[in-house]
Amino acid sequence: MKIPISKPYFDDEEEKIIIKPLQSGWVVQGPFVKEFEEKFSAHTKIPYTVASSNCTTALHLGLIALGIKRGDKVIVPSFTYVASANAIEYVGATPIFCDIDLRSFNLDIQKLEDIVVNNTDIKAIMPVHLFGLCANMPKIMELAKEYKLKVIEDCACGFDSWIGTKHSGSFGDCGCFSFHPRKAISTGEGGMLVTGIQTLAEKARCLRDHGASKSDLERHLQEGGSLLPNFNILGYNYRLTDMQGALGVAQMNKAQKIMQARRKIAQWYNEALADFPLLLLPQTPENFKHSYQSYVVLFSPSYEGLTLEMIAKYNKKRNIFMQKLESLGISTRQGTHAVHTLKYYCDKYYFKEDDYLTSLAADRLSISLPLYPQMSESEFDYLINSFKKVFG
């Protein structure tokens, strides 16, 4: 049996709707993108949504719209996908890395506070809702308010992630989502900036379309559309196509079904792996709702007392475990990067591996397990039996 790490959930609805832009001839950003934005807004309860070509471009738009510029400093977790830090680099700002809490894989609030208190030139915080669990946004927003910092939430993994009745992306100035095939909702590639601030949304819409004062769809629907719009600011071509928008509409129509299936499989894991040695399972704080964009475990005897030597020892064991699963047809992945260990950032900022020890531990010891809505019970049973075989 072959078990992939993930696969998008497409059915007849996507197959039927993807034809419609081709039939109409409107394949650039248009009516389906607008409908996708509206459905996303309704689901997340966030009033303004701006679709973009991917989450990285959405982050770039958000940073520019918030006025983050060259020389500014932005706090970002040191354990995240490299795109989070890259977007900060794009605007000429400096990423200030913060270590994580291994239980959540998100920003360590005490270490975040230490950075904010001891650096008067921080302009913004970019919390990441990693693997589908919201960062501790109430505490982060308290700090941001006290020190007058902008907050841009990296919600790449955060679709249908909640704290109480608030969706990820609704706490800060804006949030940015991904629709990559490994995400819960997929349009192949694609992103979405969300915000409660109308002026920020308007600026992001303008920036994503070369800085145009009107979109192609607006020109098409309004009188006088034969004349080109004005361009008052430097913009980018970060638009989503209407074919991707159509896929987004179909995905939003089945979002509840997709999320129920993902959480069901995560619960299967919670029960089946509860007593496995060396596997520390994901934890969800009270009043938080995990979306399980990925089901990530830590291959470690404990969260505490980790040293470079212990990390190296269990990293070898983890890699052997993953290789044996691969030989049985089961795909796994490292959770994500400790960005400060990547060559570009290491060379530019002279980091050492142990500068952010818990992030290094997460990099070397995390394992993302297969999870997709259409996983069958027989696939899951094969997966768990393979775990038992590998563990002996």
Q: What is the pLDDT of residues 25-76, one digit of tens each?
A: 999 999 999 999 999 999 999 999 999 999 999 999 999 999 999 999 999 9
Same domain, residue pair 184 and 278: no
pLDDT tens-place string over residues 237-260: 999 999 999 999 999 999 999 999
Percent of the chain past pLDDT 90, that is, above it, reads 92
Assigned domain for 2 exists: no
pTM of this prediction?
Answer: 0.95
The H-assigned helical ranges of 273-369 are 308-327, 343-349, 357-365
pLDDT of residue 41: 98
Same domain, residue pair 216 and 260: no
Active-site residues, by number, are: 183
Q: What is the CATH number of the domain that holds 289?
A: 3.90.1150.10
pLDDT tens-place string over residues 143-174: 999 999 999 999 999 999 999 999 999 999 99
Domain count, the chain: 2
Same domain, residue pair 40 and 188: yes
Residue 201 tokens, joined: 């949304």
- Distance of alpha carbon 67 from alpha carbon 64, whole angstroms: 5
Q: Which domain holds residue 144?
A: 12-249
Same domain, residue pair 200 and 278: no
| 227 pLDDT higher than 90 | no
DSSP state for residue 28 in the 8-state scheme? S
Determine contact, residues 61/207, Cβ cutoff 8 Å: yes
Looking at beta carbons, which pairs linking 15-19 to residues 24 or more positions away fall under 8 Å? 17/246, 17/247, 17/249, 17/250, 18/243, 18/246, 18/247
Same domain, residue pair 93 and 143: yes
| 13 pLDDT higher than 90 | yes
Q: What is the CATH number of the domain that holds 149?
A: 3.40.640.10
pLDDT of residue 55: 98
